[in-house]
Structure formats: C-alpha cells, structure tokens
Amino acid sequence: MAENKRDYYEVLGISKDAGESDIKKAYRTLAKKYHPDMNPGDKNAEQRFKEVNEAYGVLSDPENKRKYDQFGHAAFDPAAGGGGFDASGGFGGFDFGDIFSSFFGGGASRPNAPMAGDDLLVRLTLSFEEAVFGCKKDVTFQRVEACSVCAGSGAAKGSSLDTCTACHGSGRITVQQRTILGTMQSQQTCSTCRGRGKIIKNPCQNCRGSGYVKVNKTLSVTIPAGIDDGQRIALRGEGSAGRNGGPSGDLVIEMRVRAHEVFVRRGNHILCDVPITFTEAALGAEIEIPTLEGKQTHKIPEGTQTGTRFTLRGKGVSDVNTRRRGDLVITVHVEVPKNLTAEQKKLLSDFARSRAEGDNQPRTSFFRKLFDRQQNK
C-alpha cells in the first residue's frame, strides 16, 4: 500500500532539491551498501536494497520525479490508477544492470561471485619499553574459516550437493511480470537455493550446512621497534576466509601503549623532568639521568636555572620506517630546600647579604623596569 511506503527522498537520504548527480551518487552508495552480494542471508538488507532501487527508479526519471513531487506515492499506486512500480527490477521493468556492473563487475546480483573475507581488528596492549624496543607477542582472535569436516561444501561427509531443480544450477530464475508496457522478464536470485545453484539435503553437523565455522586462532606477531600508541599493523590474509574462491581478509592489530612513570613520548623524541638540588644548580655537578638504555651521568654547568633543557642526541626512539633515532630532552628543576635548621637559615642569610645587588642581574633588571614604568605613568 502506498501509505506504508517511506518517502523516496528519505530513503536515499537527500533533499527534495537534489540534482541528478546527487541522486545517482546517493543511490550508488546505498545500493552497494545493501546489495545482496555484500549482505548474504540478510533479509533486512535485501528489503532496504529493494527500497533503494524503487526510490531511485522514480527520482532518476525527470517525468516520474515530477509526478511523485506532485502526487506522492499515489502517482504509481495501481489502486489509485498509477502505473505501478517493480521494486526488484526498477520502474516499468527498467534494468539497473548497467549501474550495478560499475561496482560488481556484472549483473545486478551474483550470489556465487567471489567475495573477500572480513578484516578483523585486534587491540594489543604494550608496555612503554615493548613499544620502544620492539617485541614478540602472541595474539589470540576469532575468525571464520572453511569447515574442516566438509571442506566448505556444507554437506555431511560422504554426501554430495544436488543441483537445484528450480534454477537448474544457475542460481538465477527468470520472472515474468505484467506492466503497463506489456509482459517483462527479469532475472532474480533463486529463493530455493539462495543463489548457490545447489541444494544440501544432508547438511554437515559441524557447520550446520553453512560451510564455515568460527575458530580461535593464535599467532606470534613481531612488533617493530618504535611503534606508537594508536598505530596499526596489518597481517595480510589472516582475517576471515573468503567465499566462492574470494581472498581472505586481513588481521589488523591496533596498538595501545601504557604510559611510563618517568618518560613522555613526543613522536620519536623522549621528554624527561630531572630534579637537581640548589647546590648542584649553583655550583654545577655531574648528575645521574635516566635514559632508555639505563642511567648515565651528565654534567650540569654552574649557575643552571630551573627549566633549563639539555638534549642528548640519538637517545630517543627509533623511527619505524627509517630506523633513525630521535633525541632525549631532559628539563632540570631546582628543588628549593625545606625544613631548614636555624644554622642553615643563618648561613643562607649570610650568603644573601654577601652578594652584591649586581650579581642578580635578572631580578635587578625586573625591578628596575617595574620602577621605570611606575615613574612614567
């Protein structure tokens, strides 16, 4: 009934002022998404596919579009005196094969055409060190494989597949339809064998006649040095098995790298904050600093200020592609002593009085600028 149909513009996801190219683009996208070849056995996708065909059959024809814009679905409802619409083949028996062939390589529906298997995504958690230096990891996942009992045929061991009597093994049947233009013929997927051309009378109990089963698989994977959080590696052909001779999909592994308690990664560089004492900053010293390979000594010059950065070339992370290493950048922070004794406080006070005002250039310059600004107001 016309009142049960969805608005054709809504079906294609376009506005009423959409042009011819917009209509065709929306149709191609949705037809590919819901095509039976891409959704085997999915009744909902099959219904949406027919709905998309019907909407495109009307809106792609300027005259039919004009009628629809004026009268809605009633323009094509036989009960209302309209011409009717064949959802499986198009308006008035129009053949959509030329459009389907552009992205399916042939007719409107080819259930026996080779289909690639699904790609699979696995997330793998690594420590900071494992990501930096690389490692080997066992990855366990679930994928679809051809049934080992029936070798993917779907028939029980010792039995065979029978040729479908409805389509004589072609997987397609010819349907005749009466339209306003006369009797038209169209090809449809055989509903008896669902396009396989074969009937399984004695299905395999292991796969229940589907020819495919889900299995758990474990692979040892080499993680390259320098991999970063969020990066992916793909193992070709390790995804789910293809159908009808199609290739297997890929296994995609996405990395999740745990944060480090000392280092922070920025690309291929490593950042690290290192505390130093007031005495070390004032007098200079050799201090121990952490690196990816362990601790090493580094000379801090006399008079080092808090926030000063030192760069250690080539001590960062190796680039996954070029193997060139980044840098380690350490930032020193001067720790101000707390809980001083009376004697220590006296010594610091004596030290402060012993310093001439000119020795503290940054502080002197700051207050001089502030004083000059206030005087000029």
Q: Give CA–CA dist 281/334, Å, rounded.
A: 7
Domain 2-104 has CATH 1.10.287.110: yes
Class of domain 264-338: mainly beta
User: Is residue 337 helix, strand or coil?
Assistant: coil
- How far are the Cα atoms of 283, 327, 328 from residue 300, in angstroms, in the given order? 9, 18, 16
pTM attached to this predicted model: 0.59
Q: How large a percentage of the chain has pLDDT more than 90? A: 42
Give the pLDDT score at 105: 39
- Average pLDDT score over residue span 123-127: 96
- What order do you get walking across the sheet with 269-277 strand by strand? 264-266, 269-277, 328-335, 309-312
Domain 264-338 in the same topology as domain 2-104: no
**CATH number, domain 111-145+211-258:** 2.60.260.20
Res. 100: pLDDT tops 60: no
The ranges assigned to domains in the chain are 2-104, 111-145+211-258, 264-338
- How far are the Cα atoms of 72, 150, 278, 283, 357 from residue 354, in angstroms, in the given order? 96, 95, 17, 17, 9
Res. 94: pLDDT tops 50: no
When pLDDT is cut at 50, 70 and 90, the band that residue 72 belongs to is confident
